[in-house]
Amino acid sequence: AKKKKKKSLSLGEIRSRLWESQMTYFCASFKVLQDELNRKILDSLLDFTRKCSSARQHSDWASQMRANEIPTAALVLGVNVPDHDITFQSLSELLHQSVTPHVASVEAKECGALKHLMKRVLERLMDTVVDDDEEETEHTSTQLHKRVNCSLSALCDWYITKTKVGGQSTTEHERQQQPPVVIIFKDLEAFNPRVLQDFILICSRYIERLPLMFIFGIATSPSTIQRMLPHSVSSLLCIELFQSLSCTQHLATVIDQLILTPQFPFKLNAKVMQVLLSIFLYHDFSVRNFIKGLQLALLEHFHSQPLSVLCCKKKEAVLNVMQLSHRDLERIRQLPSFKRYVEKQESQEQVNLMTDDCHLKETCRKMIKGLHKYHKNYYPILKCLHTLTSALPRYPLGKQIRELHLTCLEKNVWENEDYQSAMKLLKMLAKDELIALLQRCGEILKPVKSKKMKSTAFHIPIILCDFLSFVLFLTAVVSEMAPSVEDSITSPIKNLQKKTDLFQLQKTLLEMNETRRSKKLSPFEILRNEALEFIDSLVKSHLSPPESQTLHEVCYYSSSATVRRHLNATPRTSIQAALSSPYYYLQNENLKTEDGTVSNAAPDICIAYKLHLECGRLINLYDWLEAYATVVSAADGNDPDSDGYGKVDEVKHARFIRSVSELEFLGFIKSTKQKTDHVARLTWGGC
């Protein structure tokens, strides 16, 4: 018994270590990918800041005119506001490393007035405490020494002190080489326009003494600047526009490199993937929140699935199979995919799988290897099919690869009508287009290490060689063939009389149709059909849904309801559940009830909420108060036969008023003028 306990503990530790390693790998991979995607826009911003900083060296008239303007970078980041923090954090770090140590970032929520904006900028640039005029606190002499006035003149003095060389003022050339002072406005649309205008006007007065530079973070459109700033203010800025990668392109890259890869053993089934994509497309467009949803699914999978100990690299998973206890093997026997596998076996094999643990372990090793082989072959073929179909008219299998991936996760894609129409459209492609697509498919399949896929990658260049040789031949003889082909095609039409009846026309068209059907295929058409049939065979061999694979449950997370409940919460339903059943939140035994009612010992707001559910559209406050007082008196343990039972005293009255105010704040009731001393009920259908 002790040995078994030790094994179960070791498997639990393995699960914990696997989750930690996969989470670390995933976060590191996402950070690297994020840096790569933001590199272009960040490098452009760095070049802009360096260019503006060096512009002070030139003495020509154009540079002198620009020196009187504040260089401003308008950075359009898109409506995916939760992702902006990562971009600004990377930008601040790069500016600190390569351009200037003087960088300050401000947000609208902390800059409601001009003095607040000025104070935040000075504090973050000077790293000190800035005096506020309204503060009337007493300070010691040390504190007064550290504090500075809230003005740009104090910032200028501090900057001159910081940029002195050897205690003496710098030369003119050295002054022009001084690092700029960069102020980043993270959410420009949320700033008070008047505050922003006044701050820019003040900064423009100090531009000769202070090399200021602004970066505006814009979520919507560059026209926001014209809408917020009048011409008299915007003319003080030298604005250059920068456009970041769109959030949909960002998500497509994340899915392609982090999800559609066999390197990451953890997978999502179709429903969970659909939930995460729906939240992204219909709520926030945030790639960061999409990644958080994926991390939540990873955590839930390793927490709720004991067999997730097999969700790892192939070698490690094969070793972990041999450490499974009898209890874990019983869990495998209960998996739906394993039950389907057992039903297809012979009777003796079924007995061995259900009774012999050693035989089951050996079978599971083969199944795990087959699952990893399935993933290794699935993703290259998926990308090949997307390459072939994404350029077709009306995108029959979807414009994005995530749409095709969802279709393949749900059912056999080759049974879909859209797949059939896509194959028909591929047969209509010109030879140049088809050759280019097959070449791209060959490039996708080249890195694959699977033996079967190697033969596939070898087969595609053979098809390409046949295509290319035939195209050269076709090009050489096409000029000679063209007239005869045209004659053969149009000959039935020429045989028609100038004036013909309907019967003759119908007969001629039927003859043309029969001729077209019986026409011998050209060498190009034979090769094209062979290539598409080969692609079709690859799809049918490798793009079956994961549910068709035995033991897919160890890698695929399927609880879409859990993900939706955590990420797409319904606040009103949660509040109603808490007010109706406070025991599940407070875990107090006195609040536990069996018939769904609320205990008289429940919090005041729960009692008031339960009583308000018994009322109609309009609630009489006096009747509500009396009912509340009766319930509270029972909770206090008063004798029901006493004279004071159910009476309203000052304390009960105050508690009732507070409960009603809280319900009004939560949106369950509101005051009304239809009746005196009544409130209107706003919600219906409680928990």
The set of residues, in sequence order, having a beta carbon less than 8 Å from that of 652 and lying 6+ positions away, is 628, 629, 632
In 3D, which of 638, 637, 609, 634 has the Cα closest to residue 624? 609
Measured CA to CA, the distance from residue 70 to residue 208 in angstroms comes to: 10
> What pLDDT does 465 receive?
58
At 102, list the tokens.
């003087």
Same domain, 403 and 363: yes
Residue 291: inside a domain:
yes
Measured CA to CA, the distance from residue 447 to residue 383 in angstroms comes to: 13
Same domain, 260 and 201: no
Same domain, 238 and 270: no
Measured CA to CA, the distance from residue 187 to residue 195 in angstroms comes to: 14
Whether 528 contacts 534, CB under 8 Å: no
Cβ atoms within 10 Å of 618's Cβ, excluding its own: 12
For residue range 457-510, list pLDDT tens digits in order: 555 555 555 555 554 554 444 434 444 444 444 444 445 545 566 677 777 777
Residue 263: inside a domain:
yes
Among 188, 222, 245, residue at a domain's last position: 245
Same domain, 304 and 438: yes
Question: How far does Cα 623 stand from its chain's mean position?
Answer: 51
Whether 652 contacts 632, CB under 8 Å: yes
Residue 46: inside a domain:
yes
> What pLDDT does 60 receive?
52
What residues of the chain score a pLDDT lower than 70? 1-10, 55-67, 131-148, 165-177, 448-502, 513-519, 595-597, 635-646, 685-687
At 421, list the tokens.
């129409």
Whether 254 contacts 277, CB under 8 Å: no
Whether 519 contacts 271, CB under 8 Å: no
Where do we find the tokens 């029972």? Answer: 634
Residue 386: inside a domain:
yes
Same domain, 288 and 218: no
Among 203, 219, 245, residue at a domain's last position: 245
> What pLDDT does 479 receive?
39
What are the two backbone dihedrals, phi and then psi, of residue 539, each rounded to the nearest 5 degrees?
-60, -45
Distances (CA, A) of 437 to 214, 375, 403, 432, 646: 46, 23, 20, 9, 83
Question: Kind of pairing, strands 669-671 and 618-620?
Answer: unpaired
Same domain, 82 and 225: yes
Q: What is the CATH number of the domain that holds 119?
A: 3.40.50
> Taking the model in full, what pTM does it have?
0.77
In 3D, which of 360, 354, 358, 364 has the Cα closest to residue 318? 364
Measured CA to CA, the distance from residue 391 to residue 117 in angstroms comes to: 50
Same domain, 304 and 189: no
Question: How far does Cα 670 stand from its chain's mean position?
Answer: 38
Number of domains in the chain: 3
Same domain, 425 and 316: yes
Domain that holds residue 48: 11-128+179-245
Measured CA to CA, the distance from residue 617 to residue 682 in angstroms comes to: 8
Same domain, 646 and 548: no
Same domain, 272 and 288: yes
Cβ atoms within 10 Å of 173's Cβ, excluding its own: 9
> What pLDDT does 92 receive?
92
Measured CA to CA, the distance from residue 519 to residue 514 in angstroms comes to: 8
Measured CA to CA, the distance from residue 352 to residue 344 in angstroms comes to: 14
Q: What is the CATH number of the domain that holds 668?
A: 1.10.10
Residue 512: inside a domain:
no
Same domain, 201 and 277: no
Same domain, 97 and 22: yes
> What pLDDT does 144 receive?
41
Among 245, 267, 292, residue at a domain's last position: 245
DSSP collapsed to 3 states, 7-26: HHHHHHHHHHHHHHHHHHHH
> What pLDDT does 12 receive?
83
Question: Kind of pairing, strands 103-106 and 181-185?
Answer: parallel
